[in-house]
Amino acid sequence: MIKYLPFAPLVLAAAISAAAAQDATPDLSLLPAGPGRELVGAKCGTCHAIAIVVGQRRDRAAWEQAIDQMIGRGAEVSDAEYDTIAAYLGTHFAP
């Protein structure tokens, strides 16, 4: 007999959502032109919609904290990519 696991639908929905996000090409039209645009689309758009990023207003230090959190959740970002992403976001999406 299989027991019902109340959290199973949530886990399944999260897995499907993550898989769909990974397969989709990020919408760069929401990102202003500039160095780092494609990198932000590639790295941030892998796990969630770019609209989530552009809806935020943070200074560079706060963006670095957000990037650190994403790395903690499994985002793969090199040191050079980290600096480029933080600079781009800090420039275009500051308070």
Q: What would the mean pLDDT of 1-21 be, rounded to a whole number? A: 49
Q: How many Cα atoms are found within 13 Å in the side-chain-facing hemisphere of 25?
A: 3
> What are the backbone angles phi and psi of residue 56, rounded to the nearest 5°?
-100, 150
Query: Taking Cα atoms as reference points, which of 42, 43, 41, 49 lies closest to residue 17?
Result: 49
Residue where the block lists tokens 């989530």: 52
Q: Please, what CATH class does the domain formed by 28-92 belong to?
A: mainly alpha
**Predicted pLDDT at 79:** 97
> What are the backbone angles phi and psi of residue 23, rounded to the nearest 5°?
-80, -25
Look at residue 10 and tell me whether its pLDDT is greater than 50: no
Q: What would the mean pLDDT of 33-60 be, rounded to a whole number? A: 95
**CB within 8 Å of 90: residues ≥ 6 apart:** 58, 59, 60, 63
Q: Tell me the whole-structure pTM to 2 decimals.
A: 0.73
